Amino acid sequence: MTKLNSYLSLIRFYNPIGFWLLLWPGLWGLFLSNNFNIENFTIVVLGSFLTRSLGCAINDFLDKDFDRNVERTKSRPIASKDLSLSEAGIFIVILASICIFLLMQTNPFTIKLVSYFAIPMIIFYPLMKRFLAMPQLFLGATFGLSLPISYSIAESTVNIEVIFLYIGCIFWIIAYDTYYALCDIQDDKKLSLNSSAIFFGNDTQKAVILFSMLFLGVIITFAIKNSSLILGAGAIFLLYQIYLQNKLSKANKNLDAFKANSHIGLVIAILLFIENQNELFS
């Protein structure tokens, strides 16, 4: 049982916030399509869970030496040696194989999109904090891919509106992951790692508001373009969340501010579902 818990800990099974934050944009893309069905929904949900699990495992495998020197991460299975490198490596291969099998159930366009873009980005993201001054930009581009990928699963293509929302997603992810970076800022400085929190310094909270407002602008523009009153009304909730999260951050509750973004993802998913999938109720 202890070994099982180590594997579950490796994929953050007991801390699912990352799964939700990856899943919500995936559901946005799916709900925007004209081919929403239970099969595509299952692929998106399972794909989000497995991809997030694989990403966490790869991250811990590559960051084991750093994790051992950070209070928050030193108990992770690989860093604490509850799992050996060979055990973790085999588990990563198994997870990757399952992900590839699931990918094969989609279509040629999605397979190419994931193979050429998503897979390399998932593999290389853990290394970005060593080289990029603001690795959250790369994370945003990687995590946000769940939106165009899920849309392509249903439509076998992506359109300009989906790409526009994807860009908005990048702004949103940079904003919320910067709150997360504030939790580790002292350890990151000691280990000479980069983050947006270090990059922006004393202006970090202002930068988060800027990226959040850019995301809000994308949502409002999308709502106006599609004459979506319900999504436009949802922008009020987003504005409130931007205010609330900034307030939490100023109170040094950055982890709470980070987690609150799951509410944003959920609300947008619900609004897009009501707006675009209402025929399911007729």
Cβ neighbors of 166 (< 8 A, separation 6 or more) are 144, 145, 147, 148
Q: How far apart are CA 89 and CA 250, in angstroms?
A: 40
Q: Please report, in tens digits, the pLDDT of each residue of the chain (282 residues total).
A: 488 999 999 999 999 999 999 999 999 999 999 999 999 999 999 999 999 999 999 999 988 888 887 777 888 999 888 999 999 999 999 999 999 999 999 999 999 999 999 999 988 888 898 889 999 999 999 999 999 999 999 999 999 999 999 999 999 999 999 999 999 899 889 888 999 999 999 999 999 999 999 999 999 999 999 999 999 889 999 999 999 999 999 999 999 999 999 999 999 999 999 998 876 655
**Domain made up of 2-281: CATH architecture:** Orthogonal Bundle (1.10)
Q: How far apart are CA 280 and CA 263, in angstroms?
A: 24
At residue 280, the pLDDT reads 61
At residue 1, the pLDDT reads 47
Tokens matching residue 264: 């944003």
For 160, the 3-state DSSP assignment is helix
At residue 125, the pLDDT reads 87
Furthest-apart CA atoms within the chain: distance in Å? 58
C-alpha R_g of the chain: 19
Cβ neighbors of 255 (< 8 A, separation 6 or more) are 179, 180, 183
Q: Is the pTM of this model over 0.85?
A: yes
Q: How far apart are CA 265 and CA 134, in angstroms?
A: 23
Q: How far apart are CA 5 and CA 218, in angstroms?
A: 41
Q: How far apart are CA 141 and CA 166, in angstroms?
A: 8
Environment class of 235 (CB within 10 Å of its CB; exposed 0-12, middle 13-18, buried 19+): middle
At residue 66, the pLDDT reads 80
Q: How far apart are CA 105 and CA 87, in angstroms?
A: 28
